[in-house]
Amino acid sequence: MPDFRGVGISLSNLQWIDLFQKSPLSLTDIEAILRSIEAQSNWRRPNIELIEIKQRYESQPDESISETLRVRELPFTDRILELRALANPAELRALEKEAYEDYLSSTDAKQSLQQGLESSFLVARFLYRAIRDNSIEVFRHKPFIYPIHQYLSQMIRTAEEIERKTVLATLREWLRSKETYETTRDFAAFELGMSKAHDAKNQLLEAVEDPFELALVRYYAAMALGMIASKSTLIRLLKILNREEEPQMKNLLAHVILHISNAVP
């Protein structure tokens, strides 16, 4: 230890700890030093719970969950570019409605995927207008596959500010209303995540925390929080994970927490 007495500094001015005590050092013993380091640097102490989650889940990740949380954008095919440039709005709306009805008549997700990117794009356009017009009936029949959400989220994120806020506000209201269709609420939660709706974080957390909430709504709300990937949600998500007993939900929450911790500095 250098001699600071000549410049008016003594040990009482510094953070220090007795390394020669007989009992093992505890976190309480060094808390003041850790707080001081965190306050004066970019270093943060590791979260023990997070380390345990990484040790348990990172070696055997669920790739389907991880890929969904990344929210990758889909390309526009030549046919989609043609549709976007179509000069006749009435013709385009007819194509959108036809694609939506074909989607509803498909018997399974695999058949829906086989309809192609063009169909997903047209269905997404139809759904965008339905959200904007607050047409809940459109969403009551069946869930929508991931490519449709991908195109829809692009439309929402690139919309004019006022319209984007209106669309997101409608989705938040659908999620909040427990008297509407479950498929509509599932859809709203998932799309809020796809569209990176940071203003919906607390509402999504409340849905995940609510023990009386529908299981699928909780699931998609947790998925949405992973897609939004806000570090401010980590502490509450860790607490929810510690209380969670349902295996599928517990697995999702762990992946969401890992995704957020890896995605956010």
Q: What phi and psi values does residue 250 have, to the nearest 5 degrees?
A: -65, -40
Q: Do residues 181 and 139 touch, judged by C-beta distance below 8 A? A: yes
- What is the reported pTM? 0.79
Pair of tokens at residue 184 = 């509509």
Would the pLDDT of 261 be above 80? Answer: yes
Report which of 167, 180, 246 is spatially closest to residue 208, judged by C-alpha positions. Answer: 246
Banded model confidence at residue 32, pLDDT cuts 50, 70, 90: confident
The predicted pLDDT at position 12 comes to 64
Q: Do residues 69 and 149 touch, judged by C-beta distance below 8 A? A: no
Would the pLDDT of 249 be above 90? Answer: yes
| Residue-by-residue DSSP string for 136-180 | GGGGSS----HHHHHHHHHHHHTS-HHHHHHHHHHHHHHHH-TTS
Region of 13 (left: φ > 0; alpha: ψ -120 to 50; beta: rest) is alpha
Would the pLDDT of 258 be above 80? Answer: yes
What is the C-alpha separation between 265 and 45, in angstroms, rounded?
13
| pLDDT per residue as tens digits for the range 188-230 | 999 999 999 999 999 999 999 998 999 999 999 999 999 999 9
